[in-house]
Structure 1
């Protein structure tokens, strides 16, 4: 059997899901189709070069996501030093609430736990996709997500100044992420791009 036929058989069951995912990532049906075609070409090149295609759907999702991120960067290629970018105000009215929730989460969860929770609950990654991206096992992902959700449920969202003051004394047991990480998470949530 020739390489293209083997590749086609491996990805065929996943095309519907990948096409839907490409539609989610792009703003039009035409861009989604272009992204799908480019994704398939890159995946085939990878398969031809390595001979490996163990998790086709995860690989196709990752390639599509990276291609879309690259395209977005090319369209918005203004370079600003990091220190200056962190000082620039955001004018979106949701920025404060999104940033506040992320800061609250980071007080109770580690960076890795927060990252996994965002990938699973906001960006709809599968357990396998999270494991692939973060270089861990699926059971580890399930355990971390279960533990993280339970930890946040137990703490609840603080409602008043008294609980915020109390939280200030006992929070940050996990260590706060740096401002760049919080800003990256906030931007990802607001733009829908990981």
Structure 2
């Protein structure tokens, strides 16, 4: 039997538990999948080097925990004084993180709600500027922003992926934003320009 096949047979019964543990550590679907892949890769390297794989679930738990701690330590080492951070515009050049966040938001908000929220929270548009840009009234902007933030808080607290969000009437909404809109907003967030 090939090493990969033996390794796969040994870990297959434990994958569901390890995937759940990775999600517990990261609280993010995408980060947990990355963590799981890294843990599997390191476990395979260990198996390839030693030829031994005792207690695969415990080994994978330990590797995942250590990888997660190492990643946290690397991120923690990057500090910026608060005064300096407040002076600089926020730019995140991590495309996958920005795109993933926008996709998550579009699962829960309509395209118009997402646009208003991004204009207000990311690009610091005033209520009047948003109303002028989207040809609506200031009270409508306030209402939509309040409802959008409330929806995202509820969904974020649940931390569970949903198939499709429900409208106020309880009916399922279709995917609200088209892929080109997500691309447009991802580019805007990465460059800091609309």
TM-score tier, shorter chain, comes to: 0.3 to 0.5
Scaled by the length of structure 2, what TM-score is found?
0.47
Instruction: Name the larger-Rg structure.
Output: 2
Scaled by the length of structure 1, what TM-score is found?
0.47
